[in-house]
Amino acid sequence: MHLQRFLWIMPGALLAPSSACLIQETGPMVDFGQEVAPVLAAHCYRCHGPEKQKMGLRLDQKAAAFLGGDSGEPGIVPANSARSELFRRISIPDELDRMPPDGEPLSGEEIALIKRWIDEGAAWEDDGSEKMEETPHWSFQPLGDPTSPLSDDPWVASPIDGYVLARLRQGELEPSSEADRVSLIRRLYLDLHGLLPTPKQVDKFIRDNREDAWGRLVDEALASPRYGERWAQHWLDVVQYADSHGFEMNNPRPNAYPYRDYVIKAFNSDTPYNQFILEQLAGDSVGKDAATGFLVTGAWDQVESKEPAYTALQRQDELTAMVNTTGTAFLGLTLGCARCHNHKFDPVPQRDFYAMTAVFAGVQHGERPLYSKEDAIRLSKQLEISAEIEDLRNELPSLRPAISSSRNLERFKPIRARAVRMRIHSTNSAEPCIDELEVWSNETNVALTATPSSSGDYANNPKHKLEHINDGQLGNPRSWISNKPGSGWIQLDLSEPAIIDRVVWGRDRLQRFEDRTPTNYTIEVSAVPGQWTIVSGSQDRLPFGTQGGKATASLNSHELTSHIAEAEERQRALMVTPSAMVYAGKLRQPGPTYRLYRGDVMEKREIVAPDTLSALGRLDLPLDAPEQERRVALALGIASPANPLTPRVMANRIWHHHFGTGIVSTPGDFGTNGGTPSHPELLDWLARQFIQDGWSVKALHRTILLSNTYRQTSSPNTAGLARDAETRLLWRFPPRRLEAEVIRDCILQLSGCLDLSMGGAGFSTFEPNDNYVRVYIPKESLGPAEWRRMVYMHKVRMERAPLFGSFDLPDAGQVCPKRNQSTTAIQALNLFNGTFVIDQAKRMASFLKTSGGDPVDVAYRSAYGRPPNATESSTARSFITEESLVAFCRAILNSNELVFLP
């Protein structure tokens, strides 16, 4: 029997219906094995047009047919028709999903033939398709090593200029002249600091006649702490940082800010970018806990559901955000598109998405302790001692039974004693409780005549007193309790020295209570005042709550027990109490991760090992790899010099923020749907230089800033506007409106109110409230507490910031590698009529009056870096006379020259 058909493929599935395609006779028959099996040819067009052909599945090629389509399901699984999407789609009863899409379905005989062929191994003659390789997309290709052109041209000061000039001449354009020094220093300071240069700084640069004056100015600007504050904001946009959770409750994240402060410090200290990646993905492995705030910068739905499917969906959404943020920030890829199916445009199979999901599967939203560098050292030493303790425990000949809440016998070699002490280091709950401490010498309980003392006693309870510890009466009503949760000590000074060989104790010999039971303790004996010898303890017992062990361990094990107890004491001395918490994720060992059919959390398929994108290599981690090891491996893979995406994306991101548009205009999408490089050789040169300079972001800045390309004037010319109106070829420096943060900070700077305090919890411009579902109402007035730089302002997710929200401020609802650039009437109205601007204009007027200079001259020099010309001076003075100095300041704060990068 011959089956010759056309089968059509649709997004989201291997085989899906389409009214545009029919089953029909086609082509010659092909022998598969001993029987004539179907010719399975894909129509390949999703709708119409050859540009969409590559998105389909060719069933006339062996490799493609076996691999499957966009759903991620294998098309043909030899010897297993039940797992083969091809068979499922031709045999499914649902007409919407069944293939072929129109006309009569395949007959039972035809379906049986395909099923039999698959179950018998799907024999298919080698057609060479497995060896066919497509040329990878440009961004996945290795970095080129081009030679900069036109290096002998007098305009070329760096390889950057050579690449730019060559491209300009291809477009029959020439570069513009260098900008004047006032424009250059204002451009540099607004670009690197987000603040204006002071009049003194401007004058100093203008008077500096040294050949390297510009280079010195660049180095000075990069060394300022203002640089980190400015450029951290760009990164915080990319990772959708916010100080609230989002969703309908949108409660604050009061301890998210340490991550923001970490980013600022990382930029200021020029943390190598490969280290920056490692710290954000696995900072807990290198003593940078705050850095892993990166993992949980996304929104978190606090509303818990009793419905398992919805709870699983919420969790999958969280993991998707982690994968997507990582892909956008470091790789410039839209990985979230592969959650439900293979990526439609980029080489990211659905399995890769879930492999990266497995990397983050142990990360939960929430807070954890924030440890200092010194804390990290102490924690490391604790781990070393833990290993030492484990080795000592392995030397014990046997382990005694676990601690009992009723009665415990501590037997040891006979020893002379004047005092016995039980030191308690932890309990199963609350303050430790002992109903009776017995000390035996032969058959005499010498504790009955001893004098008790303790670290502190439970107050105001007649059942629990110090004298009950050795009164011979058992049970909770006659017991001693420490006054400190989890710890304490009790001591018995014997009435006369004695040779003792055992101690007996219990929490409640009447077996009514099990709480407050000591779980870590030592029994110590003193024959000379001030000198104690450990004779027994919990160190040679099984863990509390477990079964087994020998009723009496070897009496020779007390030396090992003593060593273990001493090691535990050293470990306790290194205990770290974190001074703060940080919203940087709760980390725990995850269970298995499954690939989800069409992204449906209830449709689990095969288990997936943690891994990176297959197009970038393999991590070779086992399914049960330790949680931290997964993130470390991914970070090292992303930051590998062999990965061409990472340096290209970061080099382009830096270029984007310097020039307003990246060499690739889509800084968050280096895939097929993203932009193509305007200067591909330049991008590869920058990426390679970035790596060679030790991944130094500041070195990359300096390379760009010292170029003649950056120093061009922003003035337009007719030829440039006619051939390249968007300035993609860089025939001039592209002017652009400043961001909301820069406008606000410069207004505060000009009024003399800007508070340059760094770090900490920041400030809010919303009225405080503690509603279950938060309502964010802007404050009616702002004072000194709100006059810090805007990077320290609480970022409320999905809530427009008062006044400056209209200036294209991201709402942190999603990653934002590139802000919108709009010019609207609302912006002008807000800036002119906003109470904040009006108040700052008044303060600026007061500041000018006390400045000691002419108010008009000081205002122009402070705002624009230059004195007013004669016309401006005359007009300003007339305006101040007719209106007021406040009105003049208000006009300055609303001027184009202030809010545009020159």
- Split at pLDDT 50, 70, 90, the class of 7 is very low
Question: What value does the mean pLDDT of the chain take?
Answer: 89
* Angstrom distances, CA of residue 429 to CA of 268, 407, 425, 432, 462: 46, 18, 12, 8, 21
Using the Cα atoms of residue 638, residue 644, residue 648 and residue 651 in order, give the sign of their dihedral.
positive
pLDDT of residue 395: 85
> Which DSSP letter does residue 464 get?
B
The C-alpha atoms of residue 897 and residue 714 are separated, in whole angstroms, by 13
Q: Are 43 and 27 in contact (CB under 8 A)?
A: no
In 3-state terms, what secondary structure has residue 497? strand
Q: Are 678 and 663 in contact (CB under 8 A)?
A: yes
Q: What is the DSSP string of 832-899?
A: HH-HHHHHHHHHHHHHHHTSSS-HHHHHHHHHHSS---HHHHHHHHHHHHHS-HHHHHHHHHT-HHHH
Is residue 542 packed enough to be buried (19+ CB in 10 Å), middle (13-18) or exposed (0-12)? middle
586 Cβ contact list (under 8 Å, min separation 6):
363, 364, 365, 366, 367, 368
Give the confidence band of 556 by pLDDT, cuts at 50, 70, 90. low
Mean pLDDT, rounded, for 668-683: 96
Residue 438 has pLDDT above 80, yes or no: yes
- By the 8 A CB rule, do 190 and 226 touch? no
State pLDDT tens for residues 193-207: 999 999 999 999 999
Query: So what's the pLDDT on residue 396?
Result: 85
pLDDT exceeds cutoff 80 at 77: yes
**Which of 133-142, 550-559, 749-758, 792-801 bottoms out in mean pLDDT, i.e. has the lowest?**
550-559
CA distances from 692 to 269, 651, 699 (A): 18, 13, 10
> Does the pLDDT value for residue 458 go beyond 80?
yes
| pLDDT score recorded for residue 76 | 84
If pLDDT is split at 50, 70 and 90, which confidence band does 93 have? Answer: confident
Percentage of the chain lying above the pLDDT 90 cut: 74
The per-residue pLDDT for 106 is 82
pLDDT given for residue 70 in this prediction: 66
> Which pLDDT value is given to residue 26?
32
Half-sphere CA count of 502, side-chain side, radius 13 A: 14
- 9-18, 479-488, 506-515 — which is least confidently predicted? 9-18
Token pair recorded at residue 396:
């014990």
Least Cα distance to 801 among 744, 738, 760 occurs for: 744
Determine the average pLDDT of the residues in 655-664. Answer: 98
By mean pLDDT, which of 27-41, 152-166, 242-256, 449-463 is the weakest?
Answer: 27-41
**Chain segment 715-740, per-residue pLDDT in tens:** 999 999 999 999 999 999 999 999 99
Contact assessment for residue 108 and residue 70, using Cβ atoms and an 8 Å cutoff: no
Average pLDDT over residues 161-170: 96
Mean pLDDT of 784-794: 97
Which carries the bigger pLDDT value, residue 787 or residue 79?
A: 787
> Within 10 Å of residue 498's Cβ, how many Cβ atoms?
19
Q: How confident is the model at residue 89 (pLDDT cuts 50, 70, 90)?
A: confident
